Amino acid sequence: MNDENIEKEELALNQTDVTEKPCYALPLSPQNLVAIYKEKGEDPDNKFILWVDYPNSRLKLSPKHIMIYLANTNFRTTFSVIDDELLVEYIKSDFLVDSPLLARIVSNIIKIKFQHDISPLERELFLTFSEQQCIDFIAEHAELLDEVIESMQSIIPFSLAKLWENITPDNRLKEIELEETLSLIETVDVPSNVGPNVPMIVNSCWDVFLLVTHKLGLSLKYNIQTFNDAPKYFGKDLFYILNRSNVVNSIIDLLPPGYFQTLDDFDLEE
């Protein structure tokens, strides 16, 4: 792993460092909401992270309802404690939740499944979700984890298909290689246990996406049950978020030089 990737990894992990901040139980009281919005308003870099007291939140809300609640608030989130139920709901939820901590723990699980090295920074997360818990998760949720990995493979065909939708008709005539690729891409519409948070994991864990594609290769299909325009985060759909977070550009960089002819003219329609 090069220095740039290490720095990105450190950033993804440090985004969850809120140990000196208040830890809130959900649902938030009106008093807590006032305090939170005051803190957000005083944050010039817009890096506010909601630190959730998970055990006390479970007294009133199920993991599913915690995901729904967080999706409706649009807060970037971390947790005091994590268990299997929360991770499973994060993976299955139809609602987008921005949680680098959950994303990185799923990344750890995938790396352990593939017997890939875990960095010292990633090992620090074993304090929250231990290595043995990761191993147990792999054994107990094998089929779900296979779906997670398959969905990660599908990010490239999904992104290429959405790029095509946003290219002007005149420019499509020049994108011969992209059109040929699209003729090979298959969209399926079958029940899925994996929601849109899995593609979003790539925002924080590009390295695990590269690991999956290295181990298993590229996919030429995606499931519209997972990759759709319904889930929103700050009013934007999944592809918009992947594009604005530079994931789409990183995917383009993986393609052969000259694959795109009109990339400079590309502008995502909001």
- In whole angstroms, what is the distance from residue 142 CA to residue 24 CA? 32
Average pLDDT value for residue range 187-199: 92
Confidence of residue 194 (pLDDT cuts 50, 70, 90): very high
CB–CB of 165/251 below 8 Å?
Answer: no
C-alpha 72 chain-centroid distance: 17
The 10s digit of each residue's pLDDT in 41-61 is: 777 677 789 999 999 999 999
The pair of structure tokens assigned to 265 is 């003219």
In the predicted structure, residue 17 carries a pLDDT above the cut 70? no
- Which amino acid belongs to residue 11? L
3-state secondary structure of 248: helix
Judge if the upstream peptide bond of residue 257 is cis by omega within 30 degrees of 0: no
For the stretch 216-254, pLDDT in tens is: 988 899 999 888 777 666 666 788 888 877 888 888 888
For residue 212, pLDDT over 90 is answered with yes
Cα–Cα distance list, 136 to 80, 83, 125, 130 (Å)? 20, 11, 16, 10
Q: Are 155 and 199 in contact (CB under 8 A)?
A: yes
